[in-house]
């Protein structure tokens, strides 16, 4: 049977792309890391890492082993946390990861409620986009991940991940106040084919949503400015730089200098989820937080967004 400690060393080397960085992460010497990898390769019977001048690179066998190791270690770590919390929700840690607009709204409210109900549990929160948060959840770095996807760009099924709906957000067109369509109650995206558009600066779901929404309307958008910060996007729209799509959670405090217009005939929807490892590996604290996130999301969904 393969040794989990050695698998953890292999995964850490793969994550950091360096034996020395992995040694620092694991608080051991670089020679100890090299020895653990060599022993693991002897057990497997083939090389797991190519030792290149540019740094270590996983072989095909190494990639297969790391993919299975991440799932196994995540389950083991979840089991250890669950054993530690058998006395109830009186102690322990709960590690959250969320994206910015959810952190400022639904997650903040959920944390306040959780702390009031379970003051003995230590909470931590990290921000990351879904593209980073979901792999980190699989590796056991977090207990609950607040993620988003879109009906036009959904998450692929994953048997190791349990997803609980939190809130479905409408996507609104954000226009400058003096825009020719600013006073319209609803606008077809096709009417904005000649406009300059704003979208996310990385190949994220938000960027894909803008591109696919425009393509569905029959045109390729002219992307003039890029940002992953909806506050920046609102400022750019207010300055007349371009137009964009913005979801409900990013508009809890909308800029008074922009106009929000509904999209017709098929408004894009952003879906927010609370993700954990599958139910059998979920700690009581994670289960309680997921319930609270769903409750807060239902309440926020009932609040109207105003221009």
Is the pLDDT at 111 greater than 90? The verdict is yes
Residue-wise pLDDT tens digits, 5-49: 788 888 888 888 888 888 888 888 888 888 888 888 888 888 888
Residue 293's H or E segment, with its range, is helix 284-301
pLDDT at 296 (0 to 100): 95
Q: What is the mean pLDDT of the chain?
A: 86
Which segments within the chain are labelled E, that is strand? 49-52, 55-58, 93-98, 122-127, 144-150, 161-176, 186-188, 196-199, 222-226, 244-247, 258-264, 269-277
> Average pLDDT in the 160-175 region?
93
Torsion angle in degrees (nearest 10) through CA of 195, 100, 106, 108: -150
Q: Is the peptide bond before 265 cis (omega within 30 degrees of 0)?
A: yes
> Average pLDDT in the 101-108 region?
93
Domains of the chain: 4-82 (1.10.10.10), 85-167+271-301 (3.40.190.10), 170-267 (3.40.190.10)
CA distance linking residue 104 with residue 110, whole number of Å:
11
pLDDT at 160 (0 to 100): 84
Q: Which of 60-69, 181-190, 192-201 has the lowest mean pLDDT?
A: 60-69
């Amino acid at each position: 049977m393969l040794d989990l400690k050695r698998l953890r060393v292999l995964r850490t080397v793969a994550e950091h792309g360096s034996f020395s960085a992995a040694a620092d992460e694991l608080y051991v010497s670089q020679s100890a890391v090299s020895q653990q990898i060599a022993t693991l390769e002897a057990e497997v019977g083939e090389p797991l890492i190519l030792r290149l001048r540019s740094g270590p690179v996983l072989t095909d066998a190494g990639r297969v082993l790391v993919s299975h190791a991440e799932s196994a270690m995540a389950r083991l770590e979840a089991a250890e946390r669950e054993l530690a919390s058998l006395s109830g929700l009186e102690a322990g840690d709960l590690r959250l990861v969320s994206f910015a607009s959810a952190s400022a709204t639904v997650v903040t409210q959920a944390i306040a409620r959780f702390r009031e109900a379970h003051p003995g549990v230590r909470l931590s929160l990290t921000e990351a986009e879904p593209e980073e948060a979901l792999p980190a959840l699989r590796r056991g770095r977090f207990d609950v991940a607040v993620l988003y996807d879109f009906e036009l760009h959904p998450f692929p099924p994953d048997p190791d991940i349990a997803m609980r709906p939190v809130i479905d957000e409408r996507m609104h067109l954000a226009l400058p106040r003096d825009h020719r369509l600013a006073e319209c109650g609803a606008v077809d995206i096709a009417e904005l084919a000649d406009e300059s558009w704003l979208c996310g600066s990385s190949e994220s779901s938000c960027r894909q949503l803008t591109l696919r929404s425009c393509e569905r309307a029959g045109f390729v958008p002219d992307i003039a400015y890029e940002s992953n910060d909806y506050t920046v996007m609102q400022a750019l729209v207010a300055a007349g730089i371009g137009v964009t799509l913005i979801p409900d959670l990013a508009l809890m405090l909308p800029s008074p200098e922009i106009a929000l217009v509904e999209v017709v005939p098929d408004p894009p929807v952003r879906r927010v989820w609370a993700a954990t490892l599958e139910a059998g590996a979920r700690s009581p604290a994670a289960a309680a937080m997921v319930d609270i996130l769903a409750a807060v999301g239902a309440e926020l969904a009932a609040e109207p967004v105003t221009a």
